[in-house]
Amino acid sequence: MSPVDGLHRESALGLARLLAEGRTSSEEATRHCLARAERVDRELGAFLALDPEGALAAARASDARRRAGEARGPLDGVPLALKDNLVCAGLATTAGSRILEGWRPPYDATAVARLRAAGAVLLGKLNLDEFAMGSSTESSAYRVCRNPWDLARVPGGSSGGAAAAVAAELCAGALGTDTGGSIRQPASLCGVVGLKPSYGRVSRYGLIAFASSLDQIGPLARTTADCALLLEAIAGHDPRDATSLEAPAGGYLEACARGRAEGPRGLRVGVPREYFVAGIDPEVEAAVRGAIAALAAEGAELVELSLPHTRFAVAAYYLICTAEASSNLARYDGVRYGLRVSPEAAGAGGELEAMSAASRGRGFGPEVKRRIMLGTFALSAGYYDAYYARAQRARTLIRRDFEAAFARCDVIATPTSPIPAFALGEKQGDPLQMYLADIYTISCNLAGLPGISLPCGLSAGGLPIGLQLLAAPLDEPQLLRAAAAYEALSPATGLRPPLASAEGAA
């Protein structure tokens, strides 16, 4: 009998096994996910658009391949979803902004094309902070996204829709993007696993850019092995992306298997003192220190570290990312993209002028405009050396701190977020407090490291807490080995939010 009633509870690898054993079909799983998303997402707000026609066509093609004995691998037929700043041929792609409302790209991002080549079924596009600028998904121009653990709280951001959809079991996994923690922080707040690969490990071709020297595409899923499975599909060199590295990729599932089999014995875990300071929620600190102690109890060696230039990370990050955003978003001028106004509505000023005014006034939301103005100021004559150039020097010092640290340890363990999920609207009036939500994640992007967040406990209020692990550049196998080893020990593994636990079959 088909296990259709519980399909949404399956991990990506679990669903892959059911498909391989013929216990369900991709079409059945896809219909189940689509129906569930239609119902559950009314209050959750994780999706900006579903693509039932395209998803079911892909599912039927997958089933036909399996019947012919031509399955493309474990992802063939597995329903996934995409953050809406990854372009998909023929499917509306907005980056969460009114500027791109209705735009249908003529091509696929490389990461999207690689998922399609692996046979994955793409359900639709996921909610995000506008142009990935935010830590709560509250700056989306289209709808509020909520946390499945508490609908009055944020899911984190900017990949909040991806984290919420995975946590609420609307899809088996998702692709997000991480500029300063935008995969790991929402993964922490929603109680799922989020992996930010090394800079250059995954092609950025077809990613709508925010900050080009920081952005990286990565997976969110319910287990470390699921993230490894998605990374296997999307990692590797791409000649269309000048920042894509030619380093060998792969072996990620094997690394997870090794971590589960061997545990953390012999693993050197760095614990930086700068990540456990005033301002961290006591419950977060206790949960993360408990996770580190659990690794030590199973044979890991703890190494005390100092990353002295961490104190410059927030300032350096927000200067660099806003400067790059100012450059990247200059193309959205109201002519090639933006809100269009008829000649009659334009009046004597003419259509072109009205289009440009509409785009400036209503196309971008306040957070995007704030960051463009900050970046333009930082790059302006007389201020470039005082701000942007100094930020880049601080970035170099932060990277050197990590290089010295990884000479002494294999991975670094820290909190992912200083607090559990906060209330909707709580930080909207204070941008600086919102920016500090990324305080533990941004150094990873500045240094180009791989990082992962995985659940390590719940607060007294029943909200997830995340453990962040970092590894040296391009050492995803070591990172995944350590994450899988901890996941096997963690009491938080397999916890489900109320919104998922209370829902039956679609």
Catalytic residue positions, numbered: 83, 158, 182
Q: Distance between CA 128 and CA 183 in Å, rounded? A: 11
Q: Distance between CA 166 and CA 146 in Å, rounded? A: 13
Q: Distance between CA 141 and CA 368 in Å, rounded? A: 11
Angle, nearest 10°, between helix axes 26-44 and 52-67?
160
Listed in sequence order, the residues at least 6 apart from 298 whose beta carbon sits closer than 8 Å to its beta carbon are: 263, 264, 265, 485, 489
Q: Distance between CA 434 and CA 196 in Å, rounded? A: 21
Instruction: Report angle CA 44, 104, 97 to the nearest 5 degrees.
Output: 50
Q: Distance between CA 337 and CA 89 in Å, rounded? A: 17
The helix or strand, by DSSP H or E, that contains position 55, with its residue range, turns out to be: helix 52-67
Sign of the Cα torsion 260, 262, 265, 269 reads negative
- List phi, psi (to 5°) of 264: -90, 10
The amino acid occupying position 47 is F
Contact 377, 444 (CB under 8 A): no
Range list of H helices, 79-143: 110-117
Secondary structure of residue 23 in the 3-state scheme: coil
Q: Distance between CA 215 and CA 212 in Å, rounded? A: 6
CA dihedral 10, 13, 16, 17 (to 10 degrees): -90
Nearest CA to 197 among 213, 219, 225? 219
Nearest CA to 319 among 382, 389, 265? 389
Q: Distance between CA 146 and CA 134 in Å, rounded? A: 14
Secondary structure of residue 86 in the 3-state scheme: strand
Contact 62, 26 (CB under 8 A): yes
Instruction: Report angle CA 226, 227, 233 to the nearest 5 degrees.
Output: 95
Half-sphere exposure of 151 (CA within 13 A, CB side): 11
Residue 385 has what DSSP assignment?
A: I
Sheet with 121-126, edge to edge strand ranges: 47-50, 121-126, 79-83, 173-178, 216-221, 193-196, 451-458, 464-471, 411-415, 268-272, 301-305
Angle, nearest 10°, between helix axes 12-20 and 26-44?
150
